[in-house]
Amino acid sequence: MTDRPSIKPGDWIEVEGVPCVVANLREPDPLFGDCEVVFNPSKPTNRDAKWEGGAWHFVKSGSDFGGYADKDRLQRYVQILKSGK
């Protein structure tokens, strides 16, 4: 198994084939994963992600398909997302 890559807020990562911007880091947690990401520039969405099996995956949590990320606390990361790589 590959160690989790070093990431920081504002970095781009690919989660299940989706380009995402890292918004928040946390200690790895089975419920919330390793980080919070924002994706989908046309309708900014935030979701938790985890490093597992050598790749980034969205945390599966019931019917949670992500939240609306265009919030004050995530504005900086939404701006990075909308600016593109």
Tens digit of pLDDT for each residue in 7-57? Answer: 999 999 999 999 999 999 988 877 889 999 999 999 999 999 999 989 999
Distance CA 44, CA 18 (A): 13
pLDDT at 27: 86
Q: Which amino acid is at 3?
A: D
Neighbours of 7 (CB within 10 A): 17
The DSSP element (H or E) to which 12 belongs, if any, is: strand 12-15
Tens digit of pLDDT for each residue in 50-60? Answer: 999 899 999 98
Pair of tokens at residue 23: 């918004």
